[in-house]
Amino acid sequence: MALGARATILHADLDAFYASVEQLVDPGLRAMPVAVGGGVVLAASYEAKAFGVRAGMPGRLARQLCPGLRFVGGHFREYQRLGDQVVDVLRDFTPLVERISIDEAFLDVAGSVHLFGSPVDIALEIRRRVRVEIGLPVSVGVASTKHLAKVASQVAKPDGIVVVEPGREQEFLDPLPVELLWGVGPVTQARLAATGIRTIGELATTSPRTLQRLLGEAVGHKLGSLAANLDPRPIETRRRARSVGAQSALGRRVATSELLRSALGYLADRVATRLRAAERAGRTITVRVRFTGMRSVTRSVTVPAPISTTLTLTELGVELAGAALADHPREREITLVAISVSNLVHEPALQLELPLDLDDERLRPGTASGSALWALDRAVDAARARFGRDAVGYAAVTFSDLGGVPDEFRELAQADRHTAQHARGSP
């Protein structure tokens, strides 16, 4: 943090957003334990969380923990509509709003204090307006950096406000658990705890070399910087997508060719569909494979012409994953696969090519085979738009065992993850 920094960064985070929307849509659910989902808990209200119900938990276990739990299917259009309304409220106070997911955003109010009062006054008014005009609870953190404001909003939950005054940042951070840091999940938390690091203060005093050996160079450097509140990132109001990707946790699975084709076919379908919806295509395809022990490897390839076809992306993904596994023959089990497309360009229409018998013809969308795949995907997209996503699909997607989450919720989550990855950046 620079000397003389002021606490003018706000992080507004809607509380238990999906479940809160359900309680807003159906007033009969208010003050009741609510879970969005069915076979799997996608989101839970604070009343349900009090019984130990958590997102990602099997529905059967959730019902055992909370016998009075009410499951609802989800109003996905309402999630988007109400999330957009909250962002509109935030923009009434400043144009410097960086939305990082459907239910949270950063604001820089340094230029707004002469109009609306202090940052704390602005935070209080935001909370009042969102509650009165929209009907949702929101927690707000106020601090001098984005990272610190986000941590403050987590401490403020539910339905509160926390202000971290300049000069007292480390005093605020040090006693907090490490899992409040952006990017610390259960696996990273367990690794840190195994070495006696449980608080942000303990993390901040750990040598960079130790953290990098424990977590890897990039993650170790990032978390060490965040623990010391070193975060110079400004608010970014506009950010063009630089890549589109999806990932899936697999548990511990033997890395068979059948698993790779099923998993990557499923993910490629998501990614390619999103590319086509945005009239985008990309030339660089990257696959990440994570082994047991959190060790990951990536492989990428840049093709001659931008692609957005599902089967081409699947084929390249399987080839890249196979290459990664071939380079690590001792690794038999994998826990996660991911695929992304970058080097994006605008692709509103298909440009046909002459049949020149080039070696890379299978990767070019304008050739006879490529244009057939291009047309097939658009036919699938049109059928899904009219009859629903389950109406038609590729076998690898239809028979994949990676489902269980409604497609509407998955698309919201993927969009959130994509935005958040760009927002995190490097501190």
372-379's contacts with Cβ under 8 Å and 24+ in sequence apart are 373/309, 373/310, 373/311, 373/312, 374/308, 374/309, 374/350, 376/309, 377/272, 377/276, 377/308, 377/309, 377/310, 378/276
- Helix 76-91, helix 17-25: angle, nearest 10: 110
**Hey, is 27 helix, strand or coil?**
helix
Closest by alpha carbon to 310, among 269, 341, 278?
Answer: 269
Report CA Rg, the chain: 23
**Cβ contact 199:227 at 8 Å:** no
Out of 104, 315, 347, 411, the active site residue is 104
The answer to whether 376 and 242 are in contact (CB under 8 A) is no
Q: Do 16 and 45 meet the contact criterion of CB atoms below 8 Å apart?
A: yes
Evaluate whether 201 touches 173 at the Cβ level (below 8 Å).
yes
Residues in Cβ contact with 254 at an 8 Å cutoff, skipping those fewer than 6 apart: 332, 333
Nearest to 365 by CA among 307, 313, 310, 282: 307
311's tokens? 């089967």
Contact 33, 51 (CB under 8 A): yes
Secondary structure string (H, E, C) spanning 97-138: EEEEECCEEEEECCCCHHHHCCHHHHHHHHHHHHHHHHCCCE
Structure tokens at 60: 């059967």
104 is catalytic: yes
CA–CA gap between residue 61 and residue 129 (Å, rounded): 37
Q: DSSP letters along 186-219, please?
A: HHHHHHHHHTT--BHHHHHTS-HHHHHHHH-HHH
User: Does residue 289 contact residue 424 with C-beta atoms inside 8 Å?
Assistant: no
Which H or E element spans position 263?
helix 257-277
Question: Which amino acids are annotated catalytic?
Answer: 104
